[in-house]
Copies of this chain bind each other. A is one copy, B any other.
Amino acid sequence: MSIVNTVCRLAARPIGMPKPSNFEIIDEPAGNPAEGEFLVRVEYLSVDPAMRTWMNAGRSYVPPVEIGEVMRAGGIGRVIDSRHPDFAAGDEVYGMFGVQRYAVSNGSGVTAVDTTVAPAPVHLGALGISGLTAYFGLLDVGRPRPGQTVVVSGAAGSVGSIAGQIARINGCRAIGIAGGEDKCRWLVDELGFDAAIDYQAGDLRAQLKAHAPNGIDVFFDNVGGTVLEAALSRLARGARVVICGAISQYNAAGELRGPANYMQLLVARASMTGFVVFDYADRYAEAVAQLANWLRSGELRSREQVVHGDVAEFPEVLLALFRGDSTGKLVLALDAR
C-alpha cells in the first residue's frame, strides 16, 4: 500500500485564540498496521471546545498535546486494513484517531459504530461523548428532581442542547442560555426548552430572575466567566453547579476570571462540582441505550452541523466554534478525495 495521509500537527501553543499557524498540515505516508493493529480511514471528526484546553501545557484531566504531535480529536472512520482479531476491514468505528485522514490504532478506546441506529455524526453528538457528557453531568452530578429548575449555559452547543432536553425529559423546568435569537428560538421551538435567554441581548441577571423566580436548582455550566457569576447570584437553597466547561475562558490570553461571587455557594448552601465523562466509561452502554431510546421516541432531538472539507480546514472550523457560529454538534466530514 502507498496511501498518502494528511495530518494536522500542533506546531505551537496558542496564546489566546488559536491561529492557523499553531498547526502544521503535512502530507506523509500513512502508517502500516503491525500485528495487533489496524488502519482506519477517518471520515468524521468531532470539533469540541475542550480541544482548546488540550493545546495548553500543564496539568489537566488529559495530558496536553505535545508540539509536533497529531492534534487530538475523536473521530469516526472505516477500518480498511486489519491485523487485529477484534476489528475487520469494513467496520465503522469510533476512537481518538486525531486530526488526520488515516490512523493506525491498536484498538484502545475504539468502539463499534452502528449506523443503522443513527448516521455517523450522531454518534459523535447525541450518542457520542457529547451526549454522554450531558447525561452523566446532569443526572449524576446535577441530580435534578422533577419540578426543579435547571439552567444550562452554552445551551445551543453539543452538550448543552442534550443536557437541557434530558432535564425536560426528567420533568424539570429547562432554561437555556445561548448567544443570539436564532439559537434561543431553536431551543424553545424545536428542543422544548421552557425558556431560552439570549445573553447577548442585555442584563442576564434580570433575565434569570424573570425566568427562574424561585432560583436555580441545577446550573449546568459550559461557559464560565460572567455567565457563571450571573447564575451563582440566582442559586436556590441547596443548588448544584455542574462544572462541565468554561468556553468563555479557554482563549483568555491573560489570567482567567474566577467567579468573583463564589461565596454565593455559602449563602445558598450550594455545591460546585467538576466531572470528566471518561470516569463513567463502565456505564456508557447504559447511557447510550437510554439516549438512543429517547432519540427513537422523538423525546430527544439531535442536531449536527457537518462541515465538509479536508484536514487543512480543521483550524478554521475550530475557530468557527469559538465564534459561536455553530448550533448543535460541530463535525468536520473528511470527504473522499
Where the two chains meet, the residues of A that have a C-beta atom closer than 8 Å to any C-beta of B are 59-61, 224, 229, 243-244, 246, 249, 255-276, 279
Contact = CB atoms under 8 A, between A and B. Distances in A.
A112 B244 CA distance: 48
Contact of A259 (B249, B258, B270, B275): B258
Contacts of A265: 243, 272-274
Contact of A257 (B60, B260, B264, B270): B260
A260 B255 contact: yes
B279 A275 contact: no
A257 B274 CA distance: 20
A71 B224 CA distance: 37
Contacts of A255: 260
Contacts of A61: 266-267
A270 B262 contact: no
Contact of A273 (B256, B271, B274): B271
Contacts of A273: 265, 269-272
Nearest to A62: B267
Give 5 nearest A-B pairs by CB, closest first: A266-B274, A258-B258, A265-B274, A271-B273, A258-B259
A140 to B, nearest CB: 11
Nearest to A265: B274
B274 A263 contact: yes
A271 B239 CA distance: 13
